[in-house]
Chain A
Amino acid sequence: MNRVDSSGVEQTGVVLVVADGTMPRGSERRGKRGRRAEPQGEKGTAVSGEQQLAKLVREQGRYDIVEVGYQRFGEPSVREAVDKVIAQGAGRVIVVPTVSANSDLKEVVAALQEQHPGVQIIGTDQPLHAGKYADYIVNKIREHDRAYVAWEAELGLLRLSALKQGETGMVHDFEAGHTLVSRLSALGFTPNTRVTMIQNYGHGPVIVSVRDTRIALGRGEAGKIWVKRPENE
């Protein structure tokens, strides 16, 4: 049993925890769910999204031993997946809840650790914050939803780059990375702050006035700031 890799460090295996799997093929059980259609892979084997995920994690290169474990329906269960990983030679197992899983794995991990005293079992938190994931989903959707823009307009929401010369908006949200948000916040672009468009020719950079300061912004940067039209104007 090879628990140590060539550099002497313990081999680490990963178990991706998913809420539900599909019924194993050939099972005739008809529970409340009945039989569900499964996506067909090569030669009729099901290729689920989470199996794809495990494959990608493996391909990333660091972890060779990656298995999927299901919390509710589906095989293998989380316990079985951990066993599989240990059987493949891991001296250390990291259990990661994916987005769909119930992420409170503390008890499960503790129990597994008791079961496998010679192996280190670690549970992580969800790598993807649910709120961020929801934002990501909505952003993907909005590309296909023409009515989205109308909805935003109804709420009085628009990008700063769309504000016309002379108009004022209140800072609502950012669609930008941490560094840009940090720089903008320091300069005074905080939620509900009034921003007035001084110059906007529809192309090229813009000039806005925020907290009595004239600031030039690149068009891209201005597009990452969402403002809301003030109610009474």
Chain B
Amino acid sequence: MTEERTIAVALAGQPNVGKSTVFNLLTGLSQHVGNWPGKTVERKEGVYSHNGVRVKIVDLPGTYSLTANSAEELIARDHIIRERPDVVVAVIDASAMERNLYLVAELLPLPSPVIVALNMMDVAEQNLMEIEPDVLQAALGVPVVPMIATKNQGIHELVEAIDRLARDGAEYEPKRPEIRDDHRAVLQEIKGLIASDVPKPYPVDWVSLKLLEGDAEIMRMMEERLPEDMWKRVYAILMEHEDAIVAVASGRYDWIGRMTRAALVRPRVGQVTLTEKLDRWATHPLWGLIVLAGILGLVFGLTYSVGAPLQGLLETYVVEASARFVTGALAGAPAWLVGLLVDGIIGGVGTVLTFIPILLIFFAFMGLLEDVGYMARAGYVMDRFMHLMGLHGKSFLPLFLGFGCNVPAVMGARVIESRQGRLLTIMLAPLMPCTARMMILAFMTPLFFGPAAPLVAWSLVGLSLIVLVVSGIVINRVAFGGERSAFIMELPLYHVPNWRTIAMLVWQRSLAFFKRAGTVILVVSVVLWALSALPTGEIQTSYLARMGQLLAPVGALMGLSWQMMVALFTSFIAKENAIASLGVLFGAGGEASLAEMLPTLMTSAAALSFLVVQMLFIPCVATVATVRSETDSWKWTLFNVLFLLVVSLGAGILVYQLAVVLGWG
């Protein structure tokens, strides 16, 4: 019985080169998504088998280079240096070979052998380019595999090439880029000084080059390792050549020029491409905004015409039906069991699950826009406004989704490249007024404000947004020193979306959400149900009620009775629960009778403060659970919760007292 050999492969490439398409083709559904340890960057791995060999592939984050400037680059290079995969496949965009080979120039000095997957050959052809992969292969000294991943072409050849390289590493003879003449001596000098102190598994040549480049991580590493006098000498040399990074980069591009000159028989012809034509509108300061508004309108239109009815159907035929079924099936069972299953589990998890149609639509929308290439344009157009808050233009779209539901807003923050930007976006997403909160607004404002109801409702939405902007500015200044990473963004060519990639994305995001629903949301639903049912089985006398009563003094400052405080607690499961809880707590028969009762039970000022708190309060548990998993940090999740608690209660108190002074009390 032959034992299956296992080899490890890493997939590298710049953004927008079709790397995920290649990864999906190779791994299919075997892929597993997680996070790189200790980071919030997504890590995908998968397997396939070929020729009796099991191949484990890791998808490295897409990066333009391997500097120390971003977490993604550090992750990519650390993985190759420390894990030493048997093969690194560099996916490059044939229609932008010059820029793409920069990453290859950075990969070749690393210990693992490289295969160049020359993808998007069709795009190159469309641009009237003629490339000769064999010539490139001879020039580079590494296997070059032409591919059109979107059409499944070249995959088999790639698999073969990986297999061959892993078996016969001996034939691998890459031509590595050399540093520009004027810096050769300095590089040698540095190498001489540090050679004996470079820790395994780092290659000495690579470390020397990185030091010359002024790489922060490598400089820190060598500062710790070298004896003090030696480091001082090295540091002095580095300070004298502070601008060497320019020389190093130029050197790499010169090398690239030589490699491509031979292989690129007919270079790109400068013609007005479709992308340029579309961008005249999409990136125009005025028209770009209009186009964006149009696209957003389309999405929300679609969501509410398709998503909302589906939601209703799920509500009726899945949630309510299960509730009835369980009640019926457990006719003789103790009341608490029925309560646990129906109110606790089905009530809690079920409500959240009815949001699935909306989530699916949003995930598909985000996936489509990213794949087509429009996401970058949306970011470009909105950057002017976003940067006032210390946010990147790309934060706009995820935040905007928060109008529908905060969960995809938090998940959507993944498109933002910098960790700071991502964190800030995630912290602010819960302040977006989601549909659930709007429903509460829609229910309560007419009861208290009559004809002025729409005005009040819109003002409250406006308030949320103002608080969001101010919070953004404050958190950015306090937590991140008011700085924002430089705005440099590639605008990739538009291209026909790959439905498979999008489907895979929607599937993975939804699966992640389901898992969360299955665990955190389930636990919290049950706990909250327990608090509301114990010890007597009536919510009015439960622990939850007692908690509400305990907090009554705080509530009094806002004009809220303990019942309203309890309603705030229950809104933690799902915002809409607030209404239902009020109904039960006040003994109303249903929504209609609650509508009649409420104006008699609280003043307008109290209603206003309740709504203000509701808008700014901690989001539903699904969102909090998503914040936790997207930030991968309890610290930030806790900060988010406390921040919102303080802001919402503070605002509630302020508004109430103000309203009383104005005579609405």
Contacts and interface: CB of A to CB of B under 8 A. Distances in A.
Contacts of B283: 199, 207, 216
B242 to A, nearest CB: 7
B152 interface: no
A214 B268 CA distance: 14
Given A207-B491, A216-B489, A218-B387, A187 B246 contact: no
Interface in A27-59: none
A154 interface: no
Contacts of A213: 96, 99, 490
A87 B242 CA distance: 38
Given A178-B245, A213-B99, A218-B387, A187 B239 contact: no
A198 B486 CA distance: 20
Contact of B245 (A181, A187, A214): A181
A233 B320 CA distance: 74
Contacts of B487: 205, 216-218, 220-221
A199 to B, nearest CB: 6
A41 to B, nearest CB: 34
Interface string A4-24: 000000000000000000000
B541 interface: no
B231 interface: no
Contacts of A221: 486-488
Interface string A114-151: 00000000001100010010000000000000000000
B386 to A, nearest CB: 11
A183 B69 contact: yes
Contact of B488 (A129, A174, A198, A216): A216
Interface string B357-378: 0000000000000000000100
Given A187-B488, A214-B275, A182 B380 contact: no
Contacts of B383: 204-205, 216, 218
Given A218-B387, A218-B486, A191 B250 contact: yes
A205 B384 contact: yes
A188 B279 CA distance: 22
Contacts of B490: 187, 213-216
Contacts of A199: 279, 283
Contacts of A174: 246
B240 interface: yes
Interface string A216-227: 111011000000
Given A204-B384, A212-B268, A213-B99, A182 B245 contact: yes
Nearest to B127: A212
B236 A185 contact: no
Interface in A156-210: 174, 178-188, 190-191, 193, 198-199, 201, 204-205, 207
A36 to B, nearest CB: 34
A106 interface: no
Contacts of A183: 67, 69, 486, 488
B242 A212 contact: no
Contacts of A185: 245-246, 248-250
A72 interface: no
B350 interface: no
A140 B327 CA distance: 81
Contacts of A216: 283, 376, 380, 383, 487-491
Contacts of B376: 216
Contacts of A179: 69, 486
B214 interface: yes
B245 A211 contact: no
B491 A215 contact: yes
B233 to A, nearest CB: 9
Given A129-B239, A205-B380, A207-B380, A190 B250 contact: yes
A213 B214 CA distance: 26
B213 interface: yes
Interface in B371-406: 376, 380, 383-384, 387
Contact of B64 (A125, A181, A187, A217): A187
Contacts of B380: 205, 207, 216
A2 to B, nearest CB: 25
A180 B245 contact: no
A191 B232 CA distance: 30
Q: Interface size class for chain B?
A: 35 or more
Given A125-B236, A201-B285, A211-B99, A182 B67 contact: yes
Interface residues of A, number: 35
Nearest to B489: A216
Given A129-B240, A190-B250, A215 B489 contact: yes
Interface in B193-213: 213
Contacts of B213: 182
A180 B64 CA distance: 14
A213 B253 CA distance: 14
B569 interface: no
Contacts of A217: 487-488
Interface in B248-274: 248-250, 253, 268
A217 B283 CA distance: 13
Contacts of B65: 186
Contacts of A212: 95-96, 98-99, 268
A99 to B, nearest CB: 14
Among B213, B246, B250, chain A packs the most CB atoms within 10 A around the CB of: B246
A19 B486 CA distance: 41
Contacts of B513: none
Nearest to B241: A129
A188 B245 contact: no
Contacts of A129: 239-240, 242
A211 B14 CA distance: 15
B240 A214 contact: no
Nearest to B268: A212
Nearest to B65: A186
B656 interface: no
A217 B379 CA distance: 12
Given A199-B283, A218-B383, A184 B239 contact: no
Among B232, B249, B384, chain A packs the most CB atoms within 10 A around the CB of: B249
A29 to B, nearest CB: 39
Contacts of A211: 96, 98-99, 253
A215 B488 contact: yes
B102 interface: yes
A191 B250 CA distance: 7
A185 B64 CA distance: 11
Contacts of A193: 253
A57 B69 CA distance: 32
Contacts of A187: 64, 99, 488, 490
B600 to A, nearest CB: 54
Nearest to A189: B249
Contacts of A205: 380, 383-384, 487
Contacts of A184: 488
Nearest to A178: B214
A181 B245 CA distance: 8
Nearest to A224: B486
B281 to A, nearest CB: 12
Interface of B: 64-65, 67, 69, 95-96, 98-99, 102, 213-214, 232, 236, 239-240, 242-243, 245-246, 248-250, 253, 268, 275-276, 279, 283, 285, 376, 380, 383-384, 387, 486-493
Given A193-B253, A220-B486, 19 more contacts: A181-B246, A182-B69, A185-B250, A186-B64, A198-B279, A199-B283, A205-B383, A207-B491, A211-B99, A212-B95, A212-B96, A212-B98, A213-B99, A214-B279, A214-B493, A216-B376, A216-B380, A216-B487, A221-B487
16 contacts: A174-B246, A178-B214, A181-B246, A185-B245, A187-B99, A191-B250, A207-B491, A213-B99, A214-B493, A215-B488, A215-B491, A216-B283, A216-B489, A217-B488, A218-B486, A220-B487
